[in-house]
Structure 1
Amino acid sequence: MSDLTADKSALSGRIIYTVGYAGHDRESLLALLRAHGITAVADIRTFKRSSYWTAFDSESFGPFLRENGIAYVFMGDVMGGKPQMPELYPDGQLDYDLMAERSDFKSGIERLVAGAGKYRICLMCAEKDPLDCHRTLLIAPALKDAGFDLHHLVDGRVEAQSETDARMIAINGGDAPDLFAAAEPDPDAEIKLALARQIKRVAPKADDAIKRR
């Protein structure tokens, strides 16, 4: 992970943080990152520029973080939540399962895992609520498989992924599979169902996500 693998003295751990910059200015987001000991930011937006939150455009926000002692790398080309490949929208809506199987996405996860051994990493996207963002709906399951947990910086507090999952189940609950009816009950059936429903609710549509040239 080019910018995130150089600091030999950084803390290691099995937690990666996330944040959405909506509602922040540069200074308040910097203060939040510092308060939680973040030493590197991985920008996972698809596009480097925002039409609304211009203070967080990659070309200027990356240098701002580096000037303040926090490493920065843009990873939206491999992990962005609005990929520009039409084949990832087979039914008009982004298919996260297809994206998770891409080799470039898997290499992005590997870079995060490697970087987390040397940095306290925070994934940055725009959405304030992690339930509305691919950092929960796509990246969290992949990092869980790699042995990592996500902690979300939300409204001045840390929300563990287990708490985010509980909110997701509360929103998307009902009609959960009967664990005792199956020959081999799946203990993750409830969260899998909630995740599928949340993805259906918020995953981007091709018409909105893909830029027309």
Structure 2
Amino acid sequence: MTDPQNHSNPSLCEKLIFTVGYAGHDRDSLLALFLAHGITAVADIRTFKRSSYWTAFDADSFGPFLRENGIAYVFMGDVMGGKPQMPELYPDGQLDYDLMAEMPAFRAGIERLVAGAEKYRICLMCAEKDPLDCHRTLLIAPALKQAGFDLRHLVAGKVETQSDTEGRMMAINGGNAPDLFASTASDPDADYKLALARQIKRVAPMAEDAIKRR
């Protein structure tokens, strides 16, 4: 983007979106983090608006708190939450991120973030402290990368780049998985894809834990 008025906002010029997990924070410390990094809008991507433990971040009260402090807030857990309440997305008992990524509602959510990033410096908010344990990295980040965005994760008092997060993921989930039927053409992203699949298998929610009993 070439509009000189956007130069004060790196996310608008560089197509950046931030992420954070609120675990370990209180309202004031999280607000201070947003302000320190110039965040102007928070997209809440939890499935549920309320938490039984982190009650300070319940959407009905935290959203107004952010707005009172000059930060826009939108709840998007209904279309991008990491524990969707649709049994068909858990074909083998565990959430299938590939199926979820193809849902029209999820794709519309990605488009909404892409459009919003033209006006705001957005931070995706979920609960998990480590982005490797959260669908914001394992599900949403790949979709945003396809849309030309890079991500920055606010974690442990520092900013971790998406490439650094992926590096940690590959270190944890490294190792070859021989495929006798693989083509002779090498895939430059093979190690990343393998590590992503393994990390998803490690942390993606199980239906019996994710779907609320009515």
CA shift at 1:175, angstroms? 1.4
Aligned residues: 204
* C-alpha separation in 2, matches of 1:73 and 1:97: 25
SS at match of 1:162: helix
* C-alpha separation in 1, matches of 2:110 and 2:141: 10
CA shift at 1:64, angstroms? 0.0
2:96 is aligned with 1:95? yes
**Unmatched segments (≥5 aa) in structure 1:** 1-7
* C-alpha separation in 1, matches of 2:148 and 2:46: 23
Partner of residue 113, structure 2: 112
Measured against aligned partners, the alpha-carbon deviations of 1:46-81 in whole angstroms (never above 9, x if no partner) come to 000000000000000000000000000000000000
Q: 1:1-213 to 2 correspondence within 5 Å? A: 11=9, 12-13=12-13, 14-175=15-176, 182-213=183-214
* C-alpha separation in 1, matches of 2:67 and 2:52: 23
After superposition, the Cα gap between the structure-2 partners of 1:187 and 1:177, relative to the gap in structure 1 and judged at 3 Å, is: farther
Measured against aligned partners, the alpha-carbon deviations of 1:75-111 in whole angstroms (never above 9, x if no partner) come to 0000000000000000000000000000000000000
Mapped contact 1:176–1:190 kept (Cα < 8 A): no
Which residue identity is paired with 1:159? Answer: E
* C-alpha separation in 2, matches of 1:155 and 1:69: 24
Mapped contact 1:17–1:150 kept (Cα < 8 A): yes
CA shift at 1:183, angstroms? 2.1
The percentage of counterpart residues that share the same residue type is 81
TM-score, normalised with respect to structure 2: 0.92
**Unmatched segments (≥5 aa) in structure 2:** none
Tell me how large the CA RMSD over aligned residues is: 1.5
Mapped contact 1:100–1:138 kept (Cα < 8 A): yes
SS at match of 1:164: helix
CA shift at 1:177, angstroms? 5.6
TM-score, normalised with respect to structure 1: 0.93
